[in-house]
Amino acid sequence: MIPVSSVSETLAVGKFLLSSLIKCDSNGRYAASVSVRSGRGSASHDRIYRFTPSFATREAASRYALAEGQRLLFHPHTHKEPA
């Protein structure tokens, strides 16, 4: 079976739009990524961040992705070790 990614939740933060991207792996766990988008139309910019931890539920992965997206926006030069 091919893992399928899906957008789970979106959150507007100032001029940015955060979208959690969740993918179920072959072990039935969920991998989290976040899209950080700014701008509109041809002037838009989208950056994707992938995270190391895996999660038992889609909801937990989505919450983690959005929290990390916010951390990246507000504290871009901090580095957090995976739990």
Task: Please give the chain's pLDDT, 83 residues, in tens.
Answer: 445 566 678 999 999 999 999 999 999 999 999 999 998 888 889 999 999 999 999 999 999 999 999 999 988 777 565 55
Domains of the chain: which residue ranges?
Answer: 5-74
Pairwise CA distance, residues 75 & 72, whole Å: 5
Burial class of 56 by CB neighbour count within 10 A (0 to 12, 13 to 18, 19+): exposed
pTM for the structure as a whole = 0.79
The most distant pair of C-alpha atoms in the chain lies apart, rounded to whole Å, by 39
Q: Where are the alpha helices (DSSP H) in the chain?
A: 58-74
